Amino acid sequence: MTSPITTLTDATFDEVIGAAEKPILVDFWAEWCGPCKMIAPILEEFSREQDKFTIGKLDVDVNVATATKFSVMSIPTLLLFKDGEVVARLVGAKPKGALLQEITANL
């Protein structure tokens, strides 16, 4: 059931999102962001424990265009894409159970 986390860039974002066969949760993060580091292990667990959605990560410091396109003002911001469209926006670090509940409510 392991699905690796995909590293996204400005150059690959639209292609990966458009080709996704199931919903994809994109983590907009930065290396210096403490809360981003707090949820990273949770996202790793999700990628190993479930197969309802996949996970991608986009470093906002390196990929400014995509972060700007989706109005990401605070990080971590998690956007859930389904059929290429944003169906949920989660901002800030949350416990694993709360994150999973919000994600699955939008699948």
pLDDT tens-place string over residues 34-50: 999 999 999 999 999 99
Which pLDDT band, with edges at 50, 70 and 90, does 105 fall under?
A: very high
Q: Which CATH number fits domain 6-104: 3.40.50.920, 3.40.50.300, 3.40.47.10, 3.40.30.10?
A: 3.40.30.10
- Helix, strand, or coil (residue 56): strand
**Mean pLDDT across 7-25:** 96
CA distance 95 to 81: 21
Sketch the domain layout of the chain as residue ranges.
6-104
Reported for 90-97, long-range contacts at CB under 8 A and 24+ positions apart, including other chains, are: 92/35, 93/35, 93/36, 93/38, 93/39, 94/39, 96/42, 96/45
pTM above 0.75, yes or no: yes
Q: What is the pLDDT of residue 100?
A: 94
| Residues annotated as catalytic (active site), given as ranges | 33, 36
